[in-house]
Amino acid sequence: MPAKDIFHDAVKNALLKDAWLVTNEQFFIRSGGVEIYIDIGAEKLIAAERDGEKIAVEVKSFLGYSNITEFHVAVGQFINYRSILSDEQPERILYLAIPLDVYESFFQLPFTQKIIRENQINLIVFDSEQEVIVKWIK
């Protein structure tokens, strides 16, 4: 099982505060001859008369030497994970969770915005100190 991202627990706690039920940590899926672990699987019970919404969350810290290198890895993982989820659990929506400071700086660059838009990457922006979700972007 892969190691947890440094902000894994902060995102998990933020989801819990936002009334999500965390159903899996290190969410495992096998498909097409490969095995992957997405950081978190969660469900939100919306209302008794509606179906529950299901998500999977890949957490990225962007604490490495290069934001662009971290971004390349995050986008590649997101695209691969979304493809596997569409085959194995099409009802589950994938999100990339990123820290607020990274969103306010690197994710505001025109290049980053273009790649996010073109690849339809859903984002969860979180405050790692307060352990809260600041913004959902679909």
What is the enclosing helix (H) or strand (E) of 70? helix 67-88
Ordered per-residue pLDDT tens for the chain, 138 residues? 555 668 999 999 999 999 898 988 888 999 989 999 999 898 875 444 445 789 999 999 999 889 999 999 999 999 999 999 999 999 999 999 999 999 999 999 999 999 999 999 999 999 999 999 999 999
CATH 2.40.160.10 fits 20-96+105-129, yes or no: no
Question: How many CB atoms are closer than 10 A to CB 94?
Answer: 21
Cα–Cα distance for residue pair 84/61, rounded to 1 Å: 23
CA angle 94, 35, 119 (to 5 degrees): 35
Sign of the alpha-carbon dihedral angle for 111, 86, 58, 4:
negative
